[in-house]
Amino acid sequence: MNNYNSAVTPELQLSIEQFYYREARLLDGRQYQTWLGLVDPAISYSMPGRGNPMVNNREHGNEAMISVERELEGLDSDGLPIRDEGFLVLSLRVERSFKMNAWAETPPARTRRIVGNIEITDVTGEQFFVLSNFHLFYARPGVPDSFYAGQRRDVLVRDGDHYKILKREIVMDMANANVPTLGLFL
Amino acid sequence: MTIKIRDVVNNDATLISRRAWSDDHIYELEKKGIFAKTWLFLGHESQVRKPGDFVQAFMCETPIILSRGEDNEVHAMVNSCTHRGLPVCRSDKGNTKRFICPYHNWSYKIDGELAVIPQEKTMKCKSDKSQLGLKKVPRVESWRGLIFGCFDEYVEPLEDHLGNMKFYLGAFLDRFPNGIEFVGSPQRWVIDANWKVPMENQLGDVNHGPYLHAAVVPQEAADEINEFGYSVVPGKGHGATFRLMPEDAPVDNVAWGMETITGILGGEEVQNYLREIQASAEERVGPVRARMKGLAYGVYPNLSFLWSNAGFKVSHPRGPGKVEYWSWSIVPADAPEHLKKVLRNNHASFFGPGGILEQEDSEAWMQQYLGSKIDFADDRPYYYGLGLGLEKPHPDLPGMVDNTANEHYARAFYLRWRDALLAVEDEA
Ligand code: FES
Ligand SMILES: [Fe+2]
């Protein structure tokens, strides 16, 4: 990966940042139906499990020894991702949010997220590989407030003047799932 | 004033005090009367296949290492150094020759025996290392790959503890030509709820499905449960719920996995694989159990199982008001690798911390804990009397049987729970 990819112009960076800000506003505003419009029908949406593997002695002294990657049980691993979803399951989640009996969010959770460190790592044709970080505050009545932190690893595709999310892998920064749910739109 | 157990659960367990789920003293009695004396689930043999393999487990709040020794036997021991108590193993799983304590580097063999005290080099006197190994779990037994441990060395054999539950567990575990295996690390979900609440939910509380989950569960699923559903109390505080499909039901309506999103979206290859298993299920589990399409099970005191959204779950207490709820996805052991990657998703996305369904449950569990903690309502214990006395024996199904609205599963659980606590209540 080059430090500076010449395909990443200030205009591109700006338009992708604008995309993420808009997405964050839709999600915190509970406009999930509109948000689904930003999702490519072929989306792969996943959240790896995160374990505490043994340190490999042979990697002693190398960065690989404590890399984040080795903790992840993602789609390609033999382990267990926490989420592995396509458009249909995401649609089901959206549909659920607008039913009277989505009890975990009745009344709805209040969320506020800051998406930052938006880094376009690669551009191939109409596809954009983008890393970003998020912090999210989550509150709902009767239970303690929660804080979520993680990284998104996205592939966006150009869609006219906008983008659509073709792939999203969400790496959560938690040891145990110490939150009411990881079933949010993250 | 200390609460008396006879005031917590009445004689037929139709009324249970809110304190059962919130009182510190009761929690201490649960440790003594249940977790110190009952078979507790530790893991599955697929997690420790080779000598040196280990995974972490818990028995109540006590950290456990489950391992396969050089002798090829399964061992379970407390993950706490005999020197000053630090955990000697910090990884979820792996393969090793030694567990080395970080503090002073005492090292232990894979079966828990103390191997080396490095400080001995510089000292004349030698300690008796044979007495200084990790504390062993005195009884470890397994059935169909499910490994349990018990801190009471005089406990009844595991198979007696499981009793009739073997019939129902076997309907699933024996359904596959080579049984099942556990996938990856458990999902560990910390919920502000009492440990018994998730347990009760899987033990037999099918009846919440069409209500709490109405946003996701389609009406047809609820109708099928109404028509073919059973709730069985096999004895010993266990519970099993399932649909017993008619003899002429099409294969696709019975086969394990066909009704989940994974089965529905999995395509021909996945579906044909599931059909094949069903086609030969009768040879392995007999005609009645071949028609079984399970819902959820509970094994006293804190192991649960989900049939379609294939998972095992353990409810690890962390005090009266907190639970560490572990979920593993399971797949047929002899499924081709690429199908395992599809089938593992039966559990996640619907259950576990990211689950679209279980998020409603976890909300209910947190709220039940809050309701169990309130003041000024002790004259309104919870009512567990639905269906009292309607359960009956059944010619094909061992245990007491009724439809899924009968709360006999919970009464049976809390009667055993009450006995267990009464037995230790007066120990000073
Ligand atoms: S505490 Fe383990 S070696 Fe000292
Ligand atoms: Fe549920």
pLDDT in tens, A24-71: 999 999 999 999 999 999 999 999 999 999 988 889 999 999 999 999
Same domain, B243 and B293: yes
Asked whether residue A3 is assigned to any structural domain, the reply reads no
Asked if residue A64 belongs to a domain, the reply is yes
B157 within some domain: no
The tally of domains found in chain A comes to: 1
Does ligand 1 lie within 6 Å of residue B101's CB atom? yes
Identify whether the C-beta of residue B240 lies closer than 8 Å to the C-beta of residue B401. no
R_g of chain B, CA atoms, integer Å: 22
Q: Residues B111, B174: one domain?
A: no
Q: Say yes or no: B136 and B216 in one domain.
A: no
Beta-sheet pairing, A39-47 with A162-172: parallel
- The pLDDT tens digits of the residues spanning B285-333 come to 999 999 999 999 999 999 999 999 999 999 999 999 999 999 999 999 9
Q: Is residue B40's pLDDT more than 70?
A: yes
- Residue A183, in any domain of the structure: no
In a domain, A78, yes or no: yes
Q: Assess whether pLDDT exceeds 50 at residue A1.
A: no
Question: Do β-strands A146-159 and A162-172 pair in parallel, antiparallel, or remain unpaired?
Answer: antiparallel
Residue A186 included in any domain:
no
Does residue A119 have a pLDDT over 70?
A: yes
**What mean pLDDT value characterizes chain B?**
96
Please indicate, yes or no, if residue B25 is contained in any of the structural domains. no
- Structural domain tally of chain B? 2
Q: What is the mean pLDDT of residues B86-109?
A: 97
Interface test with B, best of A47, A50, A80 (most B CBs within 10 A): A80
What percentage of residues in chain B have a pLDDT greater than 70? 100
| Domain match, B131 and B177 both | no
Query: What separation in Å is there between the alpha carbon of B200 and the centre of ligand 2?
Result: 11
As a whole number of angstroms, the distance between CA B300 and CA B304 comes to 9
CA-based nearest residue to B83, from B64, B70, B100, B61: B100
Provide the edge-to-edge strand list for the sheet that holds A83-85: A83-85, A39-47, A162-172, A146-159, A127-139, A110-124
- The sign of the torsion formed by the CA atoms of B392, B383, B195, A174 equals positive
B255: CB partners within 8 A, 6+ apart: B274, B275, B277, B278
In-domain check, residue A62: yes
Instruction: Give the amino acid at A49.
Output: G
ipTM exceeding 0.85, yes/no: yes
Cβ contact A144–B192 (<8 Å): yes
B104 counts as catalytic: yes
pLDDT at residue number B428: 60
Name which of B213, B214, B207, B208 is nearest B229 in CA terms. Answer: B207
Residues B247 and B389 in one domain: yes
> Which residues have C-beta within 8 Å of that of residue B129, sequence separation ≥ 6?
B113, B114, B115, B117
Task: Using the structure block, give the residue that is written with the tokens 């232990």.
Answer: B108
Residue B5, domain member (yes or no): no
Average pLDDT over residues B199-220: 93
CA-angle at B45, arms to B176 and B77, nearest 5°: 155
In a domain, B148, yes or no: no
Q: Is residue A126 part of a domain?
A: yes
Strands B53-59 and A162-172: unpaired
Q: What is the domain-level CATH number for residue A31?
A: 3.10.450.50
- The total of other beta-carbon atoms located within 10 Å of residue A14's CB is 10
pLDDT tier for residue A143 given thresholds of 50, 70 and 90: confident
Q: pLDDT band at residue B267, thresholds of 50, 70 and 90?
A: very high
Instruction: Decide whether any atom of ligand 1 lies within 6 Å of the B132 Cβ.
Output: no
In a domain, B227, yes or no: yes
Range of the domain at A52: 10-172
CA within 13 Å, CB half, B15: 9
Instruction: Give the whole-angstrom CA distance, residue B56 versus residue B152.
Output: 20
Q: Which residue has the higher pLDDT, B215 or B17?
A: B17
Say what the pLDDT of residue B123 is. 87
Is the separation of the CB atoms in B266 and B285 below 8 Å?
Answer: no
Residues B136 and B212 in one domain: no
Question: Any idea what the CATH number is for the domain that residue B74 is in?
Answer: 2.102.10.10
Residue nearest to atom 4 of ligand 1 (CA): B104
Choose which residue among B101, B120, B129 to substitute to test ligand 1 binding: the one with the highest number of ligand atoms within 8 A of its C-beta: B101
In this structure, which amino acid lies at residue B317? P
Place of tokens 């090292």: B107
Cβ contact, residue pair B353, A181, below 8 Å: yes
Residue B368: pLDDT band (50, 70, 90) is very high
| Res A2: pLDDT | 47
Stated pTM of the model = 0.97
Write the CA distances from B416 to B11, B30, B166, B232, integer angstroms: 11, 12, 19, 16
Q: Is residue A80 part of a domain?
A: yes
Task: Note down the domain range covering B231.
Answer: 163-425
